[in-house]
Structure 1
Amino acid sequence: MTALRILRGIEFARPRNAEPLLLDLYLPGAAAAGAHQGGRPAVIHLHGGGWRTGERSSLGPAVDGFGFSPIEQLADAGFVVASADYRLTDVATFPAQLLDAKAAVRWLRAHAADYGVDPDRIYAWGDSAGGHLACLLGLTAGFPAFEVHDGAGKGIGSHGADAHVAAVAAWYPPTDLTRMGQQARPDAVARADDPGSRESLLIGAQPADAPDKARAASPVAYVHPDAPPFLLIHGTADRFVPAAQSAGLAEALEAAGNAVELLLLEDADHMWTTPDGGSSAAEQATAATIDFFRRQAEQH
């Protein structure tokens, strides 16, 4: 039996006029479940931070502070996990972030044999802004607007690998930037239509003033009947991203005939903070995510 290995700081892309992008690769121990002849299932993880902050291998200060590492738990369950950087909004606006996420998928698929990964069982998972990108990964495969251009999105040594993912799990993701501001709770800490909001920095304009740009960056705009299975998890007391964002995407996916699971955690705020200060919501979300990916891996 060998323990979990973590390979940190692997370069996977070099966008033009930006620093190289890195990922951390979590490799399960030899005795972990999940492997078969085609290799282990794998998950691309994308961090949160409002597209303007955050870093790979983090799920935000609150979740990190609970000390039980959902990423390592997923690896211990038998999944290779690649937690990847992407360009933040002080460097580039949308769709740069999505192109970088696609580059990470392409890199992992192209190097699947090197790390014992099954290229047909690559999934996406993200929290908050990373959940937004994970949703877009699941919904925009093959969309010409988000294919490789100007060197972005290609990935180092990807050799023509594609960027589709076979399932998506997203924690409290923004999914509809055109409605996000009006859906904000009365006690919201941040609203998408506030001047200088995270969403305005993402698209380079206030969402209310640029509905076409807001829609172009919204996962709900790309729902189609052949989407992969989705798991959306959101706290009902989220003061940053309204729970209606997950509920609306779930409704759209279901209406299009797709498999979608929506889990709403009562009284949980962003990053799974709760009135009692405990970690129960984060633990529930982590367990549901691992269970979801395990079920997807067992079906293929």
Structure 2
Amino acid sequence: MPVTRRVLAVCFALAALVAAGCSRESDADEALPVDVAVRDLGAASVLRDQVYAQRDTGALKLDLFLPKQHDTPMPLVVYVHGGGWDAGTRALDADIAAPEALAAQRLLEHGYAVATVDYRLTGVAQSPAQVIDVADAVRWLQQQAGQWQLDANRIGLWGASAGGHLVAQLGAVAGDPTKPGGGLSGIRAVVDWFGPTDMSAEAQVAHPQMQEYARRVIQQLLGCMPVDCPAKADAASPIKNISGDEPPFLIQQGTADSLVPMDQTLDFAASLRRLGVPVELHPYEGLDHGFGRGPHNAMIVDTVTAFVETHV
């Protein structure tokens, strides 16, 4: 993709990240799905408020949803919430009709454990703190795998919006232990729901009149504007860190996404494919950021389940 088109995509994404991670209603039928998730997502047991790390800003916690026990260790999917890196919570079952809850319920039904994790928000820590936190959560779960009958070598990463960015970044650096969050073992797949993938300095250069919120978000995440710290901006951009060592990616996004333009996603998928990384890209016609609610979510959930079962 030409640099100009990529820059435009990045700028539009950054300009709108105030709502990143917040589901918007789509133009599709707004009827709630009949088979909505039950409280606790139908898990056989839920281990809440597990402290996986202590920071000077406080404890970082996760919740672990366990399916019915099996004779063999269970694969694990780790979910990372959205919210523009400055908001959001790990409460995966807070809205049991949301697509995230429906997908998690389906994974549990198919024998996967599902963890949902905290990370430091930009109000208290700058990048790369967020990606380091998620990596530490994964490593902690791997260390504790024996007591919960988890398979530490069969892990999928899944995130939405800002969380999609974080899991994409972890996937990008999985083969490089010298990078923040890098060198994770056992990562079999990445599911990226409409996450931004390019924070590079070109956005500020091409669009000096960026919206004030976008400028503030960049400064909160990076501690600087990309033009003033291009190396740090590149280091936080999944597209700048891919090497061909990445696990398979599933990328799902609405074609009417008003926060992260499809051009950016198409560029990221194409870059992975050029390096030989298996990528499934599923654009959903007319859906906005967050997918909203409606019958289309059944297709989205089916796609996640099939991808995870193939690779994790």
- TM-score, scaled relative to structure 1: 0.80
- Structure 1 or 2: more helix by fraction: 2
8 Å Cα contact 2:132-2:180 kept in structure 1: yes
**1:254-293 maps to which residues of 2 (within 5 A)?**
254-273=273-292, 278-293=293-308
8 Å Cα contact 2:173-2:181 kept in structure 1: no
Q: Which residue of 1 aligns with 2:155?
A: 122
Q: Which residue of 2 aligns with 1:53?
A: 87
- CA separation of 1:3 and 1:193: change in aligned 2, threshold 3 A: closer
- CA drift of 1:245 comes to 2.4
- CA drift of 1:59 comes to 8.5
**1:238-257 maps to which residues of 2 (within 5 A)?**
238-257=257-276
**1:124-203 maps to which residues of 2 (within 5 A)?**
124-141=157-174, 142-146=176-180, 162=184, 165-178=187-200, 194-197=214-217, 199-203=218-222
The structure 2 residue matched to 1:19, chosen from 32, 53, 58, is 58
SS in 2 for 1:145: coil
* CA-to-aligned-CA distance 1:215-237 (integer Å, 9 cap, x gap): 11000111112211110111111
1:230 alignment partner AA: F
1:221 alignment partner AA: K
CA distance in 1, matches of 2:104, 2:267: 27
- CA separation of 1:163 and 1:95: change in aligned 2, threshold 3 A: farther
Consecutive unaligned residues in structure 1, runs of 5 or more: 149-160, 183-189
- CA separation of 1:288 and 1:147: change in aligned 2, threshold 3 A: closer
CA distance in 2, matches of 1:211, 1:221: 11
8 Å Cα contact 1:230-1:261 kept in structure 2: yes
The structure 1 residue matched to 2:109, chosen from 62, 65, 76, is 76
- CA drift of 1:135 comes to 0.8
- CA separation of 1:128 and 1:70: change in aligned 2, threshold 3 A: same
Deviates more, 1:259-268 or 1:203-212: 203-212
- CA drift of 1:206 comes to 2.8
8 Å Cα contact 1:193-1:208 kept in structure 2: no
- CA separation of 1:59 and 1:238: change in aligned 2, threshold 3 A: farther
CA distance in 2, matches of 1:204, 1:83: 26
8 Å Cα contact 1:137-1:164 kept in structure 2: no
Q: Which residue of 2 aligns with 1:44?
A: 78
- CA separation of 1:54 and 1:246: change in aligned 2, threshold 3 A: same
CA distance in 1, matches of 2:110, 2:202: 35
CA distance in 2, matches of 1:180, 1:76: 44
How many residues end up aligned between the 2 structures?
265
Deviates more, 1:138-147 or 1:264-273: 138-147
- CA separation of 1:100 and 1:192: change in aligned 2, threshold 3 A: farther
1:12 alignment partner AA: Y
1:128 alignment partner AA: S
SS in 1 for 2:265: helix
1:105 equivalent in alignment to 2:138: yes
The structure 1 residue matched to 2:68, chosen from 29, 38, 41, is 29
1:4 equivalent in alignment to 2:44: yes
- CA separation of 1:24 and 1:3: change in aligned 2, threshold 3 A: closer
RMSD (CA atoms):
2.7
8 Å Cα contact 1:58-1:64 kept in structure 2: no
- CA drift of 1:133 comes to 0.7
CA distance in 1, matches of 2:236, 2:46: 32
Higher RCO (C-alpha 8 Å, min separation 6): 2
SS in 2 for 1:119: strand
8 Å Cα contact 2:77-2:115 kept in structure 1: yes
CA distance in 2, matches of 1:280, 1:179: 39
CA distance in 2, matches of 1:99, 1:230: 20
- CA drift of 1:19 comes to 1.0
